[in-house]
Structure 1
Amino acid sequence: MRFKVFKNTVLLFVLVAISCGSKTKNDMSSNNEIPKQVQNDTTIQEDKKIIVGANRTKEYLPLLRGKRVGVVANQTSVIFIKDIPIKLEAPKSLSGQHKPLESTVTLNQHLVDSLLALNITIKKVFSPEHGFRGTADAGEDVKDGIDTKTQLPIFSLHGKHKKPTQQQLQDLDIVVFDIQDVGVRFYTYISTLHYVMEACAENNVPLLILDRPNPNGNYVDGPVLEKEHSSFLGMHPIPLVHGMTIGEYAKMINGEGWLKDGLTCNITIIENENYTHDSFYSLPIRPSPNLPNDQSIRLYPSLGLFEGTDVNAGRGTEFQFQRYGAPFLDQTHYTFNYTPQPNFGSKFPKHKDVVCYGVDLSNVQAKREFTLKYIIDAYNHATDKSKVFNTANFTKHAGTTKLQQQIESGLSEDEIRATWKADIDAYKKTRQNYLIYN
């Protein structure tokens, strides 16, 4: 028992030291969490100075002490830290003298594990798409269960319920939301944020948001969602690439009155330090099974549109969202081909066991931008164009029926872009009201 108390005291000291911020090195992620392709990306160095909200423990631990806490989390919900060498004073009863002992303290990286170690009373965990530990396929229902490590009950927000129920919230004093987003409208974590905010507002439970950088946060682009096409893949009239962090987007949800019945959620945002929207940020942990590295995250806004088509975007390979292809793309035009096979994060990939012809983008210098050139290319070189679009699903991803019609009619990318410019300009003015970072 003495050791446990001592250990938790040391952990608290370490967390407080981390939360002091900008002068603490932030190269704290465990190497076994970093995919090799991310480690090899040498273009992103400056963001070692970025301190994510979860690391600023000094700011939010007092808000959780003595409270019954629920946590919305997945595998990205971590406090970044390495083993820290410490010198301890040996008790006289053990050594007979005050002799320093050298040891190390390792803080469990996961937010839930860390808070439990610091005697924060966590009652339950809510998990988004892909589950608490981040292993479920895209779109796969995630069931309620018990976390084998902590024995905490886990309630899925991507199965029977997408919104916490009144019963699930009734024994909570506060909810913590900490999930890494990638800044794309159809990436469903922001829809989960909406429903968590709505449930908290309805049940008078405050929400603490631990903010994280947006790796695609340096630009705004793509068609703005039309309200009649709202779904879990896009709930609000924002562009395909929205250019906001989770914290900023929460402010917009409140400010624009998007919660049911005009409710407002009581939110507190623990901000990132040393982050701007122009910052490069390399994710040390894949945010979902099929975004394994920086390359995939940069290409995801553009290649993600293939999710609404019958073209494979690398699922079933080790280069998810770094290639695209289909058996009905012209093999006389494309020199690259691959065969999707079931793997981690994709049990049933499109065109499983079938040769797909297309384009490999794994080694191109991907820019942080959104482009239509890949989907226009695939449509133009389909031997049977009727096989490209899965219309209903594509509309959910695009947020509009117009984009498919424009591509099919042969408009160029510049001509299509011109049609959404006014909507983008209007959105940017609204967005400005909710920005936390420059």
Structure 2
Amino acid sequence: MKLIKYALHYLFCITLLLSVNSHAQSIVVGAEQWDVYKPLLKNKKVGLVVNQTSLVNGQHLVDFLLSKNVKVKAIFAPEHGFRGNHDAGAVVDNNIDTKTNLPIISIYGKNKKPSQDVLTDLDVILFDIQDVGLRFYTYLSSMHYMMEASADADIKFIVLDRPNPNIAFVDGPILEEEFRSFVGMHPIPILHGMTLAELALMIQGEGWLNTENTLNLNVITVKNYTRDKRYSLPIKPSPNLPNDQAIRLYPSLTFFESTYVSLGRGTVYPFQVLGHDKYFIGNFNFTPVSMPGSALNPKLMDKELTGQDLRNVDIKGLDLSLLIQWYQQFKQHDAEFFKSPSFMDKLSGTDKIRKMILAGNSEEQIVETWKEDLIEFKRQRKQYLLYK
């Protein structure tokens, strides 16, 4: 009996130790470390670059800071809006937040950078948005423009860092200058394997900001985070990335935006299916419909499509095989595949991928073209990495 008692006590202690250790190693994002960045906001007038992912233990950062008596003066809204309910590419207008009466200033669309008049009443810009680790995901571009605006206005810029769910991958061509756009502003690969705070340091350190002033940059790192730590997002970062699988497939499926193939916008599984009404691979059926807030006018709307269900496939990083297979299917029917070649090139950061696919090159041959550049990029980024 005594032996059983000691055994149970031992098991209890081990369980408690494991629980404490697990808790000690849990990821704590920058926004949740109030005591660290509180001094940076004391008696300061603050502007926030935030969206629906900007949460502090379930509470929006705006509400959290107001509860701490921080002088929040303005909200800057990126693509998809402050609440994250705008379609991809949809106009984001200036507005007033009904809950706080704070002005919402759009930094997506015509005015990607706020005017200096807007910033004259601010001392600090606080940036807190969840990214997914892709060069063409536009939150990175919005951060760049807000960094420039802050430098021009001589105000502090603080990045509250969050994990990158695709941090394990560095892949794709380095962006070429002639293909620079809002879906690709920096000479980095499609999958860069960095957090936004690391990229902010790199953007400043490499002199990529178009300003004569030096930016006063601060970053609040993620506690207990390492590059091999898997991170599942607690809230979808944009309307059409609803889960981990969509985020994993996003690097490979985004290229289909430039084609006639649907990638599931207008369904409950965007970025997890592929289909077309005439030329297809697979036998999975789905019908895109109008879904205001995520896909108002999706490609091939109201048509029954046939294709592939990728919800349970194991595709990680950058995979061109699906794009090549679908191109070959269209080619067999003498059908045009790329609906917007220029957009394909902007997403790629080069025209080489598209041209090599059209020329019949294999995935291995295409990937070979950027291997040497990735070695140099990894060397270049090394000094800016914050996590092991």
Q: Same fold (TM over 0.5)?
A: yes
- 1:437 and 1:427 map into 2 onto residues whose CA distance is 17
> Which runs of structure 2 are paired with 1:264-279 in the superposition (5 Å)?
264-279=214-229
- Secondary structure at the counterpart of residue 60 of structure 1: helix
1:340 alignment counterpart: 288
Deviations 1:81-134 (A, max 9, x none): 5xxxxxxxxxxxxxxxxxxxxxxxxxxx00001100111010010010000000
Maintained 8 Å contact 2:151/2:211: no
**1:178 aligns to 2:128 (yes or no):** yes
2:309 alignment counterpart: 360
Q: Aligned pair count?
A: 366
2:48 is aligned, of 60, 71, 88, to: 71
* Pair 385,252 (structure 1): closer, same or farther in 2 beyond 3 Å: farther
* Pair 318,62 (structure 1): closer, same or farther in 2 beyond 3 Å: same
- Secondary structure at the counterpart of residue 387 of structure 1: coil
Shift of 1:380: 1.1
Deviations 1:339-394 (A, max 9, x none): 11011410010010112222110122x34321101111111112344133410111
Shift of 1:308: 2.0
* Pair 393,417 (structure 1): closer, same or farther in 2 beyond 3 Å: same
Shift of 1:328: 3.7
Letter in 2 for 1:198: E
Deviations 1:59-84 (A, max 9, x none): 01121121100000000001025xxx
2:300 alignment counterpart: 351
Structure 2, unpaired ranges of 5+: 1-19
1:93 alignment counterpart: none
Q: TM-score, normalised by structure 1?
A: 0.81
Q: 4+ residue runs of structure 1 moved beyond 4 angstroms?
A: 22-26
Shift of 1:23: 7.4
1:237 alignment counterpart: 187
* Pair 299,133 (structure 1): closer, same or farther in 2 beyond 3 Å: same
2:328 is aligned, of 380, 397, 416, to: 380
Most deviating of 254-263 and 173-182: 254-263
Shift of 1:163: 0.6
1:53 alignment counterpart: 30
Deviations 1:229-267 (A, max 9, x none): 000000011101111101000001001100114543211
Shift of 1:431: 1.1
1:62 alignment counterpart: 39
- 2:358 and 2:245 map into 1 onto residues whose CA distance is 28
> Which runs of structure 2 are paired with 1:81-160 in the superposition (5 Å)?
81=58, 109-160=59-110
Q: TM-score, normalised by structure 2?
A: 0.91
Deviations 1:218-239 (A, max 9, x none): 1100111111100000001110
- 1:203 and 1:24 map into 2 onto residues whose CA distance is 43
Let me know the Cα RMSD of the aligned residues: 1.6
2:257 alignment counterpart: 307
Structure 1, unpaired ranges of 5+: 1-21, 27-47, 82-108
2:14 alignment counterpart: none
Deviations 1:170-195 (A, max 9, x none): 00010100000000011000000100
Maintained 8 Å contact 2:266/2:289: yes
* Pair 24,371 (structure 1): closer, same or farther in 2 beyond 3 Å: closer
* Pair 72,306 (structure 1): closer, same or farther in 2 beyond 3 Å: same
